[in-house]
Amino acid sequence: MIQCSKNNLQKYSPIKKESLVNGQLVITHGNIITMSSESLRAQALAFENGRIVGVGSNAEVQSFINRDWPVLDLGGKTVLPGFIDTHEHMMLTGLMVAAVHLDDVENIDQILEKIAEKAKRTEKNAWIRGSYLNEQNITEERMPTRKDLDRASPNHPVFLLHATCHMCSFNSRALEIINLPLNLEGVDMESGQPTGVVRDPGILTFVHPAMSKFIYGELTYSQETMDRFILEANRAGLQIAVHCESERSIEQVLWAMEKALRDFPRTDHRHRIEHLELPTFNQLERMAKAGIMTGMQPAFIPAFIGRENMEMYEALLGRERLRRVHPYRTILDHGIPICGGSDSPVTPYDPLAGIQAAVNHPSADERVTLYEAIEMFTATAAWSAFEEKEKGTIEAGKLADLVILRDDPFAVDAEKISDIKIEQVFVGGQPQMTKPDGPE
């Protein structure tokens, strides 16, 4: 247990909220990466009532120790600002986590085995949901049809959601319940009947409809509707963030933002284009000129493109467009800020995985530095939400949002960053973990 006597907190022990009198704590002998500048590191910090009151050397926080504040000696462990995930879907994440996980299956038969097993433990007529299915990773390279799923569970309604959340499969019982409109765009048909597979934009009806949703070139709204929405939001002084995957949807939203900013100029709007997975170089030039930033998800690359090569994407997109997939280096070189996210449940809540992916882009020309990658999930993430005075860096006066890592990400192999164990997390000075993440 933690000992709160002067100069003595047991190393790496769980820290309980009630142990921090008046929310006071001094952290010493740490490798504190402040993220306020690339070269600025510290050895110690102190916080009280949720805010940092001192950052510097061990000697510079001695005055707090002299007041009998509890001390946590990190023994050289690394401290970073608390990570910020700037794009996620919490409710959908919960639904997918609670479903049958299909991320480890090799073929449709294994899918059906998992669904049949779940059916044995599920009350009659209750829904069976599956998640994290990627048809590109199974032998058949297709989604299960209603006929497939009927074999596994004819009496329970079955709904399987693709890992991207942009495609799904239903069995016959589920189709009967939802009364699927046969003219709905995105519904796969065969001999005049639905196969059970529904794609974008039809899946938006079932998953997460939103004003700002644009998918792999499918436009959910007309140019006129988007122009009006962005024009009115910009005039109202709102920050605008719109989901856009590739050139066509990016163009629609960028065009609308440019017109809105000509109509009502603003110098610090921080409008965002989310995802920005396949922009043209001309679009990046225009974004930079208009002061438009982007929120991106680097973990998409290892999850869907591949760590070693981009052969699958080259087959889908062609070589010329492949050069523009997740072009982090080019985006930053244009002066466009990037904030990082997971798009959970599309990829897990794991900022270290996103950081690792950004520095290991399959295209060497689009890799970013480790410092730039960490900025995506700390300083730039805070700035993207107008919270740079409160979060994102370790400085006096800011919230004590901190993450303690077992290893220094700058000292480990670039392919091992996501393996770094988390020792403790503080949010507003309050410890959030009940035990260290993994064995010593």
pTM listed for this prediction: 0.84
Tokens of 205: 């009806």
| Residues 81, 387: Cα–Cα separation, whole Å | 13
Q: How confident is the model over 396-408, as pLDDT tens digits? A: 999 999 999 999 9
Q: Which CATH architecture has domain 214-391?
A: Alpha-Beta Barrel (3.20)
Relative to beta strand 41-42, strand 31-33 is antiparallel
Which pair of structure tokens corresponds to residue 407? Answer: 């290893």
Q: What is the pLDDT along the chain (440 residues), one digit of tens a residue?
A: 233 333 333 344 445 555 576 799 999 999 999 999 999 999 999 999 999 999 999 999 999 999 999 999 999 999 999 999 999 999 888 988 899 999 999 999 999 999 999 999 999 899 999 999 999 899 999 999 999 999 999 999 999 999 888 899 999 999 999 988 888 888 999 999 999 999 987 776 444 333 333 337 467 889 999 999 999 999 999 999 999 999 999 999 999 999 999 999 999 999 999 999 999 999 999 999 999 999 999 999 998 876 556 777 788 888 889 889 999 999 999 999 999 999 998 899 999 999 999 999 999 999 999 999 999 999 999 999 999 999 999 999 999 999 999 999 999 999 999 999 999 999 999 999 865 554 44
- Identify the CATH number of the domain defined by range 1-82+392-440: 2.30.40.10
**pLDDT, tens digit, 9 for 90 and up, residues 25-45:** 999 999 999 999 999 999 999
Each domain of the chain, given as residue ranges in start order, spans: 1-82+392-440, 90-201, 214-391
| Topology agreement, domain 1-82+392-440 and domain 214-391 | no
CA gap 197, 108 in Å, rounded: 14
Q: Which top CATH class is 90-201?
A: alpha beta
The string of DSSP codes covering 160-229 is EEETTSSEEEE-HHHHHHHT--TT-TTEEEETTEEEEEEETTGGGGTS---TT-EETTEESS-HHHHHHH
Handedness of CA 133, 297, 328, 426 (dihedral sign): negative
